[in-house]
């Protein structure tokens, strides 16, 4: 299989027959529809490795302040609308030093010394016909088979082409071709594509096509396919179903499945993996209860490009629970404290446990050999507390505390850690 931009364009033309109101018809101009938004982000990161061996880094601690600016132009009027999107990020170190950094907030040199500050900027050109938009440049794609994440001071970005179409009511079609990746702590834009778990040679491009189709307000279906150059073909299917039970309660089911097989030169060795998850959620008023199950079938972990291209339900704050042959279970509780006269305050607690890991069958010439043994097991507990100011001069200021604890045996392959993240964000809309 070869998934590329030509395939994507053909797919979009095929669905062009059921057109709803064109987005381009409502364009008022390049300047008239433009926006400039700023995000002030203060990020503290602390990770304590409880099982660190003598001489290795046992503690990470960083604190940084960032200013993120996002400009989005409108589209010029006419059959083809043209525009540009741009961003500028600037960060300053508030704390952190040799032996304590590498928390992915700030770049570090070969001696482990973090930079006092760093900045990065990027842009993308865009063109729109009807309700189909083509973008080229530095982007933040969000597809199940290729997505960038925003989990540190700066978000990740990727360089390439992204095609999005909303020609059919309820259908969102995406296709992309990407060749470079900017890590969350990097200033440059032309880094190699980031393979999250594999080791060794990395493919030079990733192509994908797929879409999401909403059948009314209750059911959404998703289907995607991708090809990571000389590494794998990957397919994804997802379903979300929401059943209202009353004015204040509902029941939801969400399922996600991936199929990954090596292709071409097979840079990461033999891969034949099926990964799936299912989660059920019951919501009643301010309370939400979730139970989840996830399974990996294959001799290698479920792997992905970037740090956000995993839509499996048990992927957590620290671990993805994606080990070879792993089965994992999740229990989660969310509470909106507005019901307790504390508007803007939300809380969640999650516990995930996984076992049955066996990575001894990984290809000895591949990128996963030796990462996991037989009989691996682990667990993780995540706590999240967030407050968003509801009114006044500080309206929309958010304060967030995230804490994670992870414990594992030697065969699981990941560390025993205690982690704390403190994040303060204040968004501003300039125009």
Provide the annotated active-site residues.
Answer: 177, 230, 309
Separation of alpha carbons 371 and 362, rounded Å:
9
Nearby residues of 282 by Cβ (< 8 Å), 6 or more positions away: 249, 250, 251, 252, 288, 289
What is the rounded distance in angstroms from the CA atom of residue 248 to the CA atom of residue 269? 50
At residue 10, the 3 state secondary structure works out as helix
> C-alpha 313: how far from its chain's center?
12
Q: Which two tokens stand for residue 390?
A: 């509801």
* Cβ proximity of 332 and 310 under 8 Å: no
SS3 category, 334: strand
- Rounded-to-integer distance, Cα 14 and Cα 27, Å: 25
**How many beta carbons lie within 10 A of that of residue 402, not counting itself?**
18
Which of left, alpha, beta for 185 (phi over 0: left; psi -120 to 50: alpha)? alpha
H helix or E strand, kind and range, residue 291: strand 287-297
Cα separation, 158 vs 257, whole angstroms: 24
């Amino acid at each position: 299989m070869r998934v590329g931009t030509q395939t994507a364009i053909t797919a979009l033309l095929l669905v062009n027959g059921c057109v709803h109101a064109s987005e381009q018809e409502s364009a008022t101009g390049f300047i008239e529809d433009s926006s400039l938004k700023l995000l002030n982000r203060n990020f503290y990161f602390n990770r304590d490795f409880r099982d660190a061996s003598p001489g290795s880094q046992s503690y990470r601690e960083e604190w940084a302040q960032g200013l993120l600016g996002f400009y989005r132009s409108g589209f010029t009027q006419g059959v083809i609308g043209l525009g540009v999107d741009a961003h500028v990020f600037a960060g300053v170190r508030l704390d952190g030093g040799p032996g304590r950094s590498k928390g992915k907030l700030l770049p570090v040199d070969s001696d482990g010394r973090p930079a006092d500050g760093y900045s990065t900027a990027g842009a993308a050109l865009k063109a729109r016909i009807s309700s189909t938009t083509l973008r080229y440049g530095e982007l933040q794609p969000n597809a199940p088979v290729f997505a960038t994440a925003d989990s540190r001071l700066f978000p990740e970005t990727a360089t390439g082409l992204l095609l999005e179409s909303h020609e059919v009511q309820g259908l969102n079609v995406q296709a992309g071709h990407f060749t470079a990746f900017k890590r969350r702590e990097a200033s440059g834009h032309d880094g190699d594509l980031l393979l999250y778990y594999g080791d060794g040679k990395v493919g030079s491009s990733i192509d994908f096509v797929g879409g999401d189709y909403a059948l009314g307000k209750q059911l959404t279906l998703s289907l995607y396919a991708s090809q990571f150059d000389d590494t794998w073909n990957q397919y994804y299917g997802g379903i979300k179903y929401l059943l209202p039970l009353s004015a204040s309660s509902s029941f939801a089911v969400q399922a996600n499945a991936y199929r990954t097989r090596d292709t071409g030169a097979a840079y990461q060795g033999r891969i034949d993996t099926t990964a799936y998850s299912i989660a059920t959620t019951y919501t009643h008023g301010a309370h939400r209860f979730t139970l989840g199950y996830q399974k990996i079938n294959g001799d290698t972990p479920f792997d992905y490009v970037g740090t956000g291209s995993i839509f499996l339900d048990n992927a957590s704050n620290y671990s993805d629970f994606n080990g070879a042959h792993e089965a994992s279970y999740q229990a989660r509780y969310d509470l909106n404290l507005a019901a307790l006269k504390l508007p803007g305050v939300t809380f969640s607690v999650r516990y995930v446990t996984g076992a049955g890991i066996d990575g001894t069958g990984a290809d000895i010439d591949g990128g996963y050999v030796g990462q996991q043994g037989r009989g691996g097991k682990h667990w993780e507990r995540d706590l999240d507390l967030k407050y968003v100011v509801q009114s006044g001069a500080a309206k929309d200021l958010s304060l967030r505390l995230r804490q994670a604890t992870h414990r594992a045996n030697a065969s699981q392959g990941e560390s025993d850690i205690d982690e704390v993240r403190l994040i303060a964000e204040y968004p501003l809309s300039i125009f």
